[in-house]
Structure 1
């Protein structure tokens, strides 16, 4: 089955939202992902919130190309989380007709994290977007089993979701059986990339190494050691795929258009040509 592909922010982080949409259309992506809120204070993001001029340009690019916005980044749930702080992001998502918001869990109190997640889902319900909790091995939601536990503890809201990132599956101890155990209604999209595995390295990765790879040094699908075909075979065949391949060395060398083109071609080669 042919997947629909989204050009993730980390694969196109040199571009403004309208530029990302234009490039996605030229290359054959159906969607884009945008980072309209930073993943840490002072970290990079795409300007749009509070910029009606850029919002108008982005909406015009959507109308002209037919490329949609799939997911927005990022909402982080920490100890003092107030879901109302996310209202500007949610308002932007509603205007863009985004489908999902990426959520990270940082609160070490898992009961409080589940409660905060439930409150976020309740706030988001009128906006028509899902709250997709991404498990990452260095966070308090390190694997798929923990993510499912948080969502279940939150009462499994109607707009709840779990985001599967191939890199985090490989480095968290999440098994393909764990993926198959995730309820279909919680799966809205998955992220693809490649990387070396701990088996290839001969030891476990440090937290610092895992974070660096995730943000700065992923490989194109097919270049690393992750069993991507096995991983995606454990997920629904019609699941949209976000192509997330940040590489701070190779992206500038290739140039933004060619890197995004290579990333899409490599993803298709793994998921479709080898099927």
Structure 2
């Protein structure tokens, strides 16, 4: 079973949605991810939920494209989280045909974070979108075991855990932990490689995640081990921001390289 390949928002974050589609079409991606809300204050996002004209134009463009929107970003659950704030985002995602919304957990109160996630999953289900909780070692959801514990206390079809290869490598998560995630909670995974030794501070972990990911097969992450623990055919989002390499090669050569390396990396798992 061949896994659909997606061009993640962060890989070409400076590229507006219409041009993002063009890049995906030109280089053989099946899907794209769009960042509609910033990951941190002042960072790049494309708030289509606040721009009806731009949203209509994008929906029209997608109707004539072989490329589909797979995921939208990013909902961050922190203290004082209110699901109603995110309904416009989810409505927009539904119009775009998105299947998932990326969710980050920032609330240090585990019980409150778990309750907030459960409420969000209920709302996401109304829009046919899964709430993909991503574990990241510097957040309140630092590893796969924590993500599974939180998601297990929600209910309904929108429960979801997002596996990012970089965060598996940088956290205490093991291949065995990945194998124990219920298959129905896995809707896609994010692919990249990363340098070793692993950074020792949160600031460096974040910088590597946002700026210095590596082409699959050129770093120290056990990508084959990770993918062997995931379902065959699971959609893959290539999240690989590395502006120095991208600028040096140019968009076309860079995207050809990362999609080719990803296909080569996951090919043995497709035929197991």
Partner Cα distance (1:47, 1:103) in 2: 16
Q: CA deviation at 1:27?
A: 1.0
2:217 equivalent to 1:222: yes
Return the alpha-carbon distance in structure 2 between the equivalents of residues 204 and 11 of structure 1: 21
Partner of 1:57: 57
Aligned length: 270
User: In the aligned structure 1, how far is the partner of 2:57 from the partner of 2:24?
Assistant: 15
Partners of 2:193 and 2:158 in 1: CA distance: 29
Distance apart, 1:259 and its partner CA: 2.1
Unaligned runs of 5+ in 2: none
Partner of 1:244: 239
Q: Distance in 1 between matches of 2:246 and 2:268?
A: 24
Give the match's secondary structure for 1:133.
strand
Partner SS for 2:98: coil
1:67-102 Cα shifts (integer Å, max 9, x gaps): 110000000000110111111211110110100000
Alignment of 1:27-176 (within 5 A): 27-154=27-154, 156-176=155-175
Q: 1:255 aligned to 2:254?
A: no
What SS is found at the alignment partner of 2:254? helix
Tell me the SS of whatever aligns to 2:6: strand
SS of 2:71's equivalent in the other structure is strand
Deviation at 1:153, TM superposition (A): 2.5
- Against the structure 1 CA distance between its residues 261 and 61, is the aligned structure 2 distance closer, same or farther, given a 3 Å change threshold? farther
C-alpha distance 159-222 of structure 1, shift in aligned 2 (>3 A) = same
Give the aligned partner of residue 20 of structure 1.
20
Q: Secondary structure of the equivalent of 1:249?
A: helix
Structure 1: segments with no counterpart, 5+ residues: none
Normalising by structure 1, what TM-score? 0.94
Give the Cα–Cα distance (whole angstroms) in 2 for the partners of residues 255 and 58 of structure 1.
Answer: 25
Q: 1:256 to 1:46 in 2, by over 3 A?
A: farther
| Cα deviation 1:176-199 (Å, max 9, x = unaligned) | 0000000001000000000123xx
Retained in 2: the 8 A contact 1:14–1:256? no
Which range moved further: 145-154 or 265-274?
A: 265-274
Could you tell me the TM-score, scaled by structure 2's length? 0.95
- Counterpart of 1:44 in 2: which secondary structure? coil
